[in-house]
C-alpha cells in the first residue's frame, strides 16, 4: 500500500513539474516567434559559439538579445525552470529518502487510501479518562500510554499481535482507532481498520477469487503496517474461510513483524471455544502477543 501511494504521489509531482516546464517552453516559443527576438537570439547563440573558438566578445549580442526581450515584455529568466524545493530540486527525494516537501502530501494521500479519517475517527487526544471511575480510569490511562508508545516505536517492537478484550463500551475500539490514526497521520505508516465482518468478507472474496487475483484481494491485509480487526467474534463462521484465513493473516503478519490489533468482547475462554486452540495460541502467545483485558462498565451509558 505505501509503495502504491508513494508512486502515485511522485507521479503527481512529476506531472506538475512537466506541466511547468511545458508552460515555460510555450512561453519561449511565443517569444521566439517574434522576428526581432528570434534574430537577436540567433546572433547571440552564434556569438557564444564563436567565443568558445576565438574568445570574441559577447556583450553587445547579449545586450541586443535582452533589449529585444524587454521591448516585447519578456525577460530571459522567464524561460528558466526554478525548482520550488531547493532541497530536492523537485525530484521528491534527498539522499534516497522522501523530501520534507513531499511528506505532507504523501501522508494525506496515504490517509485517503486507508480511509483513516472515517474508519479511525478517534485520536489519543480524545481518550479522556477524567470523570471515570478511578480504577477504570487508571487502567485506561496505562493502556493508552502503552498503546501510544507502541505506535511511536513501531516497527522496533517485540510484539506484533495486540488483543484488547472487555465488555461493550469500555473503549476498545477507540483505543484501536487512536493507534491506527497516529500510525498514519503522524508516522506515515499504512493501516487498515476493518470490522470483523468486513475482514471476514475480504477473506471470503479472496477465497472465491480466481487464482491469479487472490493475492491482489488480500495483499493489503497481509502487508499493511497496521491492521485493526474490530469486534472479533461478531462475524459469521464461514466454512473453509473464517478460521483458515484468520490463521493465515496472523501467521503471515507475525512472521513479518507487522502489527495486528484485535478488539473483542469475548474473554479468553470464549475465544478458545470459538476459534480453537491454534488461533487462540497465536492470540495469547507471550512471545509475539499482548493480551489485555480492559476493565470497567460501558462508558457510553454514563
Distances (CA, A) of 78 to 57, 82, 178: 25, 10, 49
Q: What is the pLDDT of residue 300?
A: 56
User: Is-above-0.85 flag for pTM?
Assistant: no
Q: What is the pLDDT of residue 187?
A: 94
Domain-by-domain residue ranges, the chain? 2-103, 115-301
Give the three cell numbers for residue 273: 471455544
Cβ distance 173 to 230 under 8 Å? yes
d(CA 75, CA 63) in angstroms, rounded, equals 12
d(CA 247, CA 157) in angstroms, rounded, equals 21
CATH number of 115-301: 3.90.190.10, 1.10.1240.10, 3.40.50.300, 3.30.70.600?
3.40.50.300
Q: What is the pLDDT of residue 50?
A: 76
- DSSP letter for each residue of 229-279: EEEET-S---TTTHHHHHHHHHHHHHHTT-EEEEEES--HHHHHHHHHHHH
Q: From the CB of residue 145, how many other CB atoms can be counted at a distance below 10 Å? A: 12
pLDDT in tens, 199-250: 999 999 999 999 999 999 999 999 999 999 999 999 999 999 999 999 999 9
Average pLDDT, the chain: 91
Rounded mean pLDDT, 20-33: 94
pLDDT tops 80 at residue 181: yes
pLDDT more than 90, % of the chain: 76
Question: Residue 85's pLDDT band (boundaries 50, 70, 90)?
Answer: very high
Q: What is the pLDDT of residue 59?
A: 85
Total length of the chain: 302
d(CA 174, CA 120) in angstroms, rounded, equals 8
| Kind and range of the H or E run holding 147 | helix 134-153
Amino acid at each position: 500500500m505505501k509503495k502504491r501511494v508513494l508512486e502515485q504521489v511522485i507521479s503527481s509531482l512529476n506531472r506538475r513539474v512537466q506541466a511547468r516546464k511545458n508552460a515555460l517552453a510555450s512561453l519561449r516559443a511565443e517569444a521566439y516567434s517574434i522576428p526581432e527576438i528570434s534574430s537577436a537570439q540567433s546572433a547571440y547563440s552564434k556569438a557564444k559559439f564563436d567565443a568558445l573558438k576565438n574568445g570574441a566578445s559577447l556583450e553587445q549580442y547579449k545586450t541586443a538579445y535582452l533589449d529585444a526581450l524587454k521591448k516585447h515584455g519578456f525577460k530571459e529568466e522567464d524561460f528558466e525552470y526554478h525548482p520550488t524545493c531547493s532541497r530536492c530540486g523537485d525530484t521528491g527525494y534527498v539522499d534516497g529518502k522522501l523530501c520534507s516537501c513531499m511528506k505532507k502530501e504523501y501522508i494525506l494521500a496515504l490517509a485517503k487510501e486507508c480511509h483513516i479519517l472515517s474508519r479511525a475517527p478517534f485520536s489519543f487526544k480524545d481518550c479522556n479518562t477524567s470523570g471515570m471511575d478511578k480504577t477504570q480510569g487508571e487502567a485506561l490511562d496505562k493502556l493508552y500510554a502503552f498503546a501510544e508508545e507502541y505506535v511511536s516505536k513501531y516497527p522496533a517492537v517485540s510484539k506484533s499481535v495486540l488483543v484488547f478484550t472487555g465488555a461493550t463500551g469500555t473503549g476498545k475500539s477507540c483505543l484501536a482507532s487512536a493507534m491506527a490514526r497516529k500510525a498514519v497521520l503522524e508516522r506515515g505508516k499504512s493501516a487498515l481498520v476493518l470490522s470483523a465482518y468486513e475482514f471476514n468478507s475480504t477473506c471470503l472474496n479472496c477465497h472465491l477469487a480466481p487464482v491469479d487475483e487472490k493475492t491482489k484481494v488480500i495483499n493489503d491485509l497481509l502487508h499493511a503496517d497496521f491492521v485493526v480487526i474490530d469486534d472479533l467474534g461478531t462475524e459469521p463462521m464461514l466454512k473453509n474461510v473464517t478460521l483458515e484465513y484468520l490463521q493465515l493473516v496472523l501467521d503471515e503478519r507475525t512472521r513479518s513483524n507487522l502489527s495486528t490489533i484485535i478488539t473483542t468482547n469475548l474473554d479468553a475462554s470464549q475465544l478458545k471455544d470459538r476459534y480453537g486452540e491454534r488461533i487462540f495460541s497465536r492470540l495469547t502467545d507471550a512471545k509475539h502477543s499482548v493480551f489485555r483485558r480492559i476493565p470497567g462498565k460501558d462508558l457510553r451509558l454514563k
